[in-house]
Amino acid sequence: MCQFKFRRNTSRKSAKVLRSGSVYIIAMGTSLIVACLAIVGLQAVRVQRRNNEALLQTVNAAGLAQCGIEFAQHAILTNPNWRTQFVHGVPVTRNTTGGSFSVTLTDPDDGSIANQNTDPVIISSTGLFGGSTQKLSAYLEPQNHLLAACRSSLYAASDIIMKKCTINANQWAYSEATIKANGSTNVNMNCLAAEGFEGSGFNQRKITGGVWPMAKPALSPTATNYIGKYYIDNAVRINAADLPTGGTELVINGGFAANTASWTSIGCTLSRMRQEPAGTTSCLVSGRSLLASTPVQDITQHMIKDRNYRVSFWVRTTADQEVYPVISSLGSGSLLPTVRTGARVEAEAGEWTLVSSTIRVTWSGTLTKAEFQIGTELAGNYHFDSVSIQDAEREVGTRYIENVRLGYSNNPFGTGSVSANGVYVISTPGEDLVIRNARINGTLVIQNTDLVELEDAISWEPSGRNFPALISEAEIKDLTSVSTLDESSIGVNLNPSNTPYLGSTNTTATDRYPTVVSGAMSSFNDILFDGVATYSGPVLCNETITVDCPNLSIQFPSDMLMNPPPGFFEDPPKMLINSSSLQSIP
């Protein structure tokens, strides 16, 4: 029993010692945990501080990127020459306290900021602060506002004169001088004038103080913001020499300087000889056994339906006989050609005789082939020389656009280069320009021309949205006299597959088009209305507008208010931010 008690007492003493060591270990472990927690806490504070600093740098970098956008916007709003201040793709950098921003402008359309005021711009701004880089980009597009003076049917920097006419228009008539109504004029439009009115019978409003308050387009060709500048810069040029005129020789190699080039024959042989009435050579027609045996030249490209042509040539026959000119025209509407002959002239054997006459050419449908030939009374050999065919209805000193299609799909003049947007610049120094019996699908800018006349019938619609029809430095006269452009009258198909009219195309020459000029018309000089054409307007004139026709209709297109074409809105246009995005760069 004593041994048992000894063991029990020994166990209690040992347990006491063990309990004291455990407390020590626990205390030390707790201290270590507390220390670790303290260290972790300190580290967390450091990490949080670094994160806060990084976040602050990011915020500051983003703010600097925004400053860059605002810097570019301020330049755009306050500097009219901002497009030359910035260069496409070249950054502009500005340093600030603790950071910097770099701004780059790019033109997504053509890579050139300076060439067009109507091009959009992308602003890319990079903000740098500390170790953070932030990028903000903004897409700016033109916000075009139609000039106030262009919100009109008629605008004149000088007088507007209305002579015994009826005018129907859905917009105002604006004059910076006086509006005059002579005789029994019926004006169904409001009229606003700076200096006053003469006559009565229409709604009148005078500008207080006589000072013109409205923004207007630049009609002077020398102005840097000229109304026609955009169209000139984006046009195909047609030179005066490319257009037909009076006195133009339609026969090729009529004097046989190039042997018998451009000539063919039917039932005979052609040979260049040294017998001539003038010059050095002529052509011998030999081997003729039939009256139908004749020299031939194709003149298809020059012929206009129902047009008079002056035809002449010299002839030397081997026997006395009558000689006369012949023009044969084959159209798609008939199986046989229409043959027209000129006056018969008695030729004396062995003598050179001048044969001269006027022939009126016609055909059915569209012209397939037209040929010049010589008719004789007898079947025998003869010489001929100095063949000439000229349009009898064209005047010298005047260039013509007639009986053709001209626009975004076709250019019948010069090299035939086509403008995809239908814009052409035409220059006829010292000459007039007549446009008649034509369909124009585009915009014409007329330079260095004495006078522009619209005659007969015209169907005119620009291809660009709300693009103008005609911009001219010279005076414009509307002398149209036919209310419908009839394909059968001119023998030309005006709506082939590449040029539909109201969505319709065909291969015939039976369609009819109203005589209408859709799109704005402007002149640096006077404008006269003395025809039958209707207009959409606006009609803009730097001098005097005179209305001397019985009826004039101008229906301003409402779409132009929201979508004005180049040259008709404030220049430079306001730039509107369309969208923006923030992008972090690692």
Domain shared by 416 and 359, yes or no: no
Neighbours of 49 (CB within 10 A): 10
Measured in degrees and rounded to the nearest 5, phi and psi for residue 11 equal: -65, -40
Residue 414 falls inside a structural domain: yes
Residue 347, strand partner residues: 321
**580 pLDDT band (50/70/90 cuts)?**
low
Which of 391, 409, 430 is the endpoint of a domain? Answer: 391
**Contact at 8 Å (CB) between 183 and 203?**
no
| Helix (H) or strand (E) segment spanning residue 22 | helix 2-78
Residue 64 falls inside a structural domain: yes
Domain that holds residue 28: 15-144+575-584
**538 pLDDT band (50/70/90 cuts)?**
very high
What would the pLDDT profile of 204-232 be if each residue is shown by its tens digit? Answer: 888 766 566 788 999 999 999 899 999 99
What would the pLDDT profile of 430-443 be if each residue is shown by its tens digit? Answer: 999 999 999 999 99
DSSP notation for 285-337: EE---STT-EEEEE-GGG--TTEEEEEEEEEEESS-EEEEEEEEEEETT-SS-
Give how far the C-alpha of residue 542 lies from the chain's centroid of Cα atoms, to the nearest Å: 22
Residue 8 falls inside a structural domain: no
Domain shared by 88 and 185, yes or no: no
Q: What is the pLDDT of residue 579?
A: 55
**Contact at 8 Å (CB) between 152 and 521?**
no
Residue 258 falls inside a structural domain: no
Q: What is the pLDDT of residue 8?
A: 47
Distances (CA, A) of 248 to 103, 252, 417, 431: 60, 11, 22, 14
CA distance 250 to 257: 16
Mapped onto helix, strand or coil, the DSSP state of residue 366 is: coil
Mean pLDDT of 226-248: 96
Mean pLDDT of 573-579: 64
Q: What is the pLDDT of residue 241?
A: 95
Q: Which of 7-16, 71-80, 387-396, 514-523 has the lowest mean pLDDT?
A: 7-16
Domain shared by 358 and 404, yes or no: no
Q: Which of 15-24, 139-148, 187-196, 503-512 has the lowest mean pLDDT?
A: 15-24
Domain shared by 288 and 239, yes or no: no
The residues, any chain, with a CB within 8 Å of residue 76's CB and separated by 6 or more, are 82, 121, 140, 575
**126 pLDDT band (50/70/90 cuts)?**
very high
> Does pLDDT of 577 surpass 50?
yes
Mean pLDDT of 554-562: 92
Q: Reply yes or no: is the peptide bond before residue 244 cis, omega within 30 of 0.
A: no
Residue 252 falls inside a structural domain: no
Domain shared by 545 and 447, yes or no: yes
Which of 372, 391, 410 is the endpoint of a domain? Answer: 391
CA distance 427 to 281: 37
Domain shared by 542 and 424, yes or no: yes
What would the pLDDT profile of 393-431 be if each residue is shown by its tens digit? Answer: 999 999 999 999 999 999 999 999 999 999 999 999 999
> Does pLDDT of 13 surpass 60?
no
CA distance 316 to 263: 18
CATH number of the domain encompassing residue 306: 2.60.120.260
> Does pLDDT of 49 surpass 50?
yes
Read off the tokens for 166: 């009826």
What would the pLDDT profile of 376-386 be if each residue is shown by its tens digit? Answer: 999 999 999 99
Residue 61 falls inside a structural domain: yes
> Does pLDDT of 169 surpass 80?
yes
Q: What is the pLDDT of residue 97?
A: 82
Which of 350, 376, 391 is the endpoint of a domain? Answer: 391
**Contact at 8 Å (CB) between 454 and 476?**
yes
Domain shared by 401 and 473, yes or no: yes
Q: In the chain, how many domains are there?
A: 3
CA distance 140 to 442: 29
> Does pLDDT of 3 surpass 50?
no
Pairs from 169-176 (Cβ < 8 Å, separation ≥ 24): 169/537, 169/552, 169/553, 169/554, 169/555, 169/556, 170/554, 170/555, 170/556, 171/537, 171/538, 171/554, 171/556, 174/149, 174/214, 176/212
CA distance 149 to 214: 6
CA distance 187 to 274: 71
Domain shared by 382 and 431, yes or no: no
Domain shared by 165 and 211, yes or no: yes
**19 pLDDT band (50/70/90 cuts)?**
low
Mean pLDDT of 15-22: 58
Q: What is the pLDDT of residue 562?
A: 87
Domain shared by 52 and 134, yes or no: yes
Domain shared by 423 and 375, yes or no: no
- Degrees (nearest 5) of the Cα angle 414, 420, 421? 110
Q: What is the pLDDT of residue 47?
A: 64
What would the pLDDT profile of 351-381 be if each residue is shown by its tens digit? Answer: 999 999 999 999 999 999 999 999 999 999 9
Residue 344 falls inside a structural domain: yes
Q: What is the pLDDT of residue 200?
A: 80
Domain shared by 162 and 140, yes or no: no
**274 pLDDT band (50/70/90 cuts)?**
confident
> Does pLDDT of 570 surpass 90?
no
Q: What is the pLDDT of residue 4?
A: 37
Q: What is the pLDDT of residue 52?
A: 76
Residue 259 falls inside a structural domain: no
Q: What is the pLDDT of residue 344?
A: 97
Q: Is the full-model pTM beyond 0.75?
A: yes
What would the pLDDT profile of 66-124 be if each residue is shown by its tens digit? Answer: 898 889 888 888 888 888 889 999 999 999 888 999 999 999 988 998 887 778 889 99
Mean pLDDT of 329-349: 96
